[in-house]
Amino acid sequence: MSAYGWMLAPLLIGFISLWINWILGRQVLERGVIFIDLAMAQMAAVGMLAMELWWPQYSSSLWWKMLAASVVTFSMAGLLCFFEG
């Protein structure tokens, strides 16, 4: 994993940005404007980064990357629906 050590800082920044966008997105949603799609797009990017980091043998396949992005995005959307209830 030391070869991917440089990705830890951008990954941390991505999660911080997701948290900030979630908070801001909730405030915008209270006003009736849809904004949460940016946070979901960031989660798709996190899914692709996770695929590159933890399963490099599959990283050359676009289908595996899209699957990872979809799984992470739909999981986070489900958690968001659960917590927002």
- How many angstroms separate the CA atoms of 37 and 59, rounded? 25
For the chain, which residues score pLDDT lower than 70?
Answer: 1, 32-36
H-state helical runs in 2-84: 8-30, 37-54, 62-84
- For residue 37, the model assigns a pLDDT of 74
Q: Hunting for tokens 């801001």 — which residue is that? A: 24
Please list, in sequence order, all residues whose beta carbon lies within 8 angstroms of the beta carbon of residue 83, skipping any fewer than 6 positions away.
none
Going through the chain in order, the beta strands assigned E by DSSP cover: none
- For residue 39, the model assigns a pLDDT of 79
- For residue 3, the model assigns a pLDDT of 74
- For residue 71, the model assigns a pLDDT of 92
Is this prediction's pTM over 0.85? no
- For residue 1, the model assigns a pLDDT of 57
